[in-house]
Each structure stands twice: as structure tokens, then as C-alpha cells.
């Protein structure tokens, strides 16, 4: 079920429906809190909204879950 919320959040992000996208990523995380991609995607929305501290927190959580994923470290650097 997390997968569907994540995909819908991505669609809403690309449609510039940022608040709805964050809610979908929140729902995805609620259903699967151990999926790094959910945190990464929510972090990307927050980065786009210039919510840098929140984006940084999401990227940190994603990195904790998937420490070998280089794109997560790149995104964290962008949040700085």
C-alpha cells in the first residue's frame, strides 16, 4: 500500500500540488516507515519548498535506512 501513496505523491509533486504530495508521502511513511524512498521523495518536496531543515531531516532518515545509496547523500548536500 505504501507504494501507491508514494507513486501518487510523485504525480502530485510533478503537478505542483506540493501540500498534497507531502500528505501522500506522509501516508506512505505511515504504512512503511522503513522505506528510504518515501523519506527521500518527501525531502525533495520540502527542498523544492525551501524547507531546508525538514528536507535535511528526511534525507538523514533515508540515509539511515539505505546508507549505500549515493543519491541520498547528494540530496542531503543540496539541502545545505
Break the chain into its structural domains and give their ranges.
2-79
Q: What SS3 class is residue 75?
A: helix
Residue 52 neighbours by CB under 8 Å, 6+ apart: 46, 79, 80
Distance CA 19, CA 34 (A): 22
Q: 27-56 pLDDT, tens per residue?
A: 999 999 999 999 999 999 999 999 999 999
Fold adopted by 2-79: 1.25.40
Give the pLDDT confidence of 2-15 residue by residue, as tens digits.
999 999 999 999 99
Amino acid at each position: 500500500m505504501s507504494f501507491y501513496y508514494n507513486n501518487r505523491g510523485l504525480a502530485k509533486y510533478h503537478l505542483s500540488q506540493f501540500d498534497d504530495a507531502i500528505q501522500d508521502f506522509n501516508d506512505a511513511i505511515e504504512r512503511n516507515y522503513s522505506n528510504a524512498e518515501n523519506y527521500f521523495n518527501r525531502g525533495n518536496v520540502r527542498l523544492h519548498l525551501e524547507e531546508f531543515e525538514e528536507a535535511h531531516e528526511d534525507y538523514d532518515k533515508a540515509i539511515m535506512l539505505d546508507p549505500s545509496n549515493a543519491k541520498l547523500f547528494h540530496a542531503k548536500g543540496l539541502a545545505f
